[in-house]
A and B are shown apart, each in its own frame.
Chain A
């Protein structure tokens, strides 16, 4: 009996889609080190129980909502999106390079010739692992998102497909953003995208990753990983725009590492999917490093978003600043759980954390858990959280100018989100995000 029970636990989350054979199949033909990493990740996955709501970080999200049993592994590509779908991915926007994933495959990878000449690499991650192992092996699943970070980091570590590597060599400035599009054309499947961005010393780059699909009647799963490294003095912006259709379950683990004097900002926008469960962490590993973590979420209907953020200060003299804002309609439920962790040696840390929520419908529900763990004394840390409703005076003012209530409401929400968008130093991208949010508010 006992042995049986243990085996059941060990096999939690092993399904017709997620199993060792799938990991073996993906590893076939890959370099030995990568093959070993996949299989080691699979071991971790098998041995890690599925999180329950007894686990603090999963208190508000029942893993059953992810419908892991109802998806099979997507191994196909599909037709590249066209028309309105292509617009969702902003494939027409200016870019220094781009990659497009459809289903399980990358169908398009391009890099401006001038950048390629400077050594910039935008490549299929599996290909890059063979051709540029020196750019992949030290970074993939090592310091940022190792498999033992959690059940879903391990799942991605074992089964990722359609991965993208972006590498910017020392001192190279990439002026236009690089864009990655992740498109899912059908329900009933799981995709496991992985993004690895390495910005070498003193380089500059902005990466915009968009996740999109039509609405589905049945569940689909995206279990992604994003790893970003800003080496000394690099300046990096990573923007993730999640506009999956309904039906999609979005699970994402994102870790950024900022070395000495690096600037590493992230903005994560959650607009779509039925369930989004995102783990986002910024690790400040060098003095003088700075990370802004920005987030926006807009949820309506029955959407359920759960954000877990972490600001890890392990060295002195680093700075992090988090601002997450959300607006909720209908029966939407959102969770923000943030942690500023200041390790004992991280003196002179400056760390801030703000979460603001607007509840716009009586049934909407927001949880906010801004946490601090401070083990150094010479620090400046503060956090704040609010949950509130529309300011009726603002509304009154706008409506007295002749705006209908709904339009006034939109305007107020826009203003509310504006504070976050303004902090992103990428004007073109900000405009696109505004448009995406506007389309969502309509």
Chain B
């Protein structure tokens, strides 16, 4: 089969509806999901009718799909006990001074100095489901870069939005993509025009702070031909007492010759279910990199993917997972080679501590017609305690004889000799352990921007506290 037919058959269909909505009832928050809730969300956001219809159709898909039985344990996830939408603050914040103190405090706790925050351009902070703070450097505006909340993206750029929305992750892709499609709220809309190079990363911090609040952020990014950009999404959140749920969808279109990198460091509260679909469609000669760090949460199921649909496309997934006691990180990546001469690489590093469980789950698929595709996957797991657990579940599906595909994985215990050596140099066991762990993740961590590497190290150190004994 010619590869462009394969692309057409991937099931990434488009959705087109042609109506405009008029009425706007008052929004009342309620637990659970129903058609009424979906209609309220859409009405509250003053969405065009096609989006309402899209949401309703997605809701039906969500209701018809069974819960996944693979991956993590979802039996304790009560989808009726969640607020699917919470009213955001009344208006968008325009300047730093207007950002609420509570959010500033959380920023503070992250340890990023305010000065640095201001230098880091285009910070959008998401708080309780919506963008509350949003700024974009002037020079980018001049270049035509769009960096908006997803709602504003839909409002201000309806045609561009509609052309790409749900084309990479259609609602029928999986149960939680359908759920997100029905109730999405918040997230970013990014467009990088042809040939534009954005030097400073685009950043969107977001936080989840309300108990039992569902967070269904949706991000749509289009990197037009020959453009270059780096998008960073970071996240820390305080610990809650009852289960919480996050289910995002990230769609990225990397047009011919473009280079795009998406970095996420997530440190969710330990009772959070985090089920995310993030996927990039990578066109001819384009490069896509996912840098994915997963800490915290009760269960994370997240497999950033690259669909390499254009000749010579390259996809890369660098992943770090840290599973502390009671946590299950079911993460990894997918690379799907559809076009000839496509290449990909996955590097995954996982650490399991206490009763934590880190699972790598990955797919490397080479369709017929993707001649001379090359893929290499490497997974390393580090176990800190005898109660820790790790799994590796790679799927390698090859339909092309010219393909060259390799997968390697190793599992090891933290080396007693390494610890002994470091401790003989005067480090405590805790410090020594943290140092070994840092060394273990270094091949991925070094790809992070400096401040993130620092933050990640800080988080690892924090997690290591009390890990000995």
A residues neighboring B (CB under 8 Å): 56, 344, 347, 357, 359-389
Contact = CB atoms under 8 A, between A and B. Distances in A.
Interface stretch (B232-240, B262-270, B386-394, B459-467): B386-394
Given A56-B70, A371-B394, A386 B407 contact: yes
Contact of A372 (B392, B395, B398, B404): B392
Given A357-B398, A375-B389, A381 B404 contact: no
A373 B360 CA distance: 10
Contacts of A364: 401
Contacts of A347: 386
A152 B360 CA distance: 30
Contacts of A365: 397-399
A348 to B, nearest CB: 10
Given A368-B407, A370-B394, A371-B393, A389 B401 contact: yes
B400 to A, nearest CB: 7
A66 B397 CA distance: 22
Contact of B411 (A359, A379, A384): A379
Contact of A374 (B383, B399, B407): B383
A360 B399 CA distance: 11
A386 B410 contact: no
B406 A374 contact: no
Interface in B400-424: 400-413
B368 interface: yes
A379 B368 contact: no
A378 to B, nearest CB: 5
Given A372-B391, A385-B394, A385-B405, 6 more contacts: A372-B411, A384-B406, A385-B396, A387-B366, A388-B404, A388-B406
A377 B396 contact: no
A-B interface, 8 closest residue pairs, ranked by CB to CB distance from nearest: A359-B401, A377-B383, A372-B392, A368-B396, A382-B410, A387-B398, A381-B411, A385-B407
Contacts of A56: 70
A369 B405 contact: no
A383 B408 contact: yes
**Which of B401, B403, B407, B410 has the most chain A CB atoms closer than 10 A to its own CB?**
B401
A385 B406 contact: yes
A363 B367 CA distance: 11
B395 A388 contact: no
Contacts, number: 111
Interface of B: 70, 366, 368, 381, 383-413
B398 A382 contact: no
Contacts of A385: 394, 396, 405-407
A376 B383 CA distance: 8
Contacts of A379: 383, 411-413
B392 A370 contact: yes
B405 A387 contact: yes
A348 B388 CA distance: 14
A54 B262 CA distance: 33
A305 to B, nearest CB: 15
Contact of A370 (B70, B381, B384, B407): B407
Q: Which of A56, A344, A370: most chain B CB closer than 10 A?
A: A370
A387 to B, nearest CB: 4
Contacts of B392: 370-372, 383
Contacts of B389: 373-375
A367 B394 contact: no
A383 B413 contact: no
A419 B278 CA distance: 41
Contacts of B383: 374, 376-377, 379
B224 to A, nearest CB: 35
Nearest to B399: A365
Contacts of B404: 387-389
Contacts of B388: 377
15 contacts: A357-B398, A362-B401, A370-B409, A372-B392, A375-B389, A377-B384, A377-B385, A379-B383, A381-B410, A384-B409, A387-B398, A388-B403, A388-B404, A388-B405, A388-B406
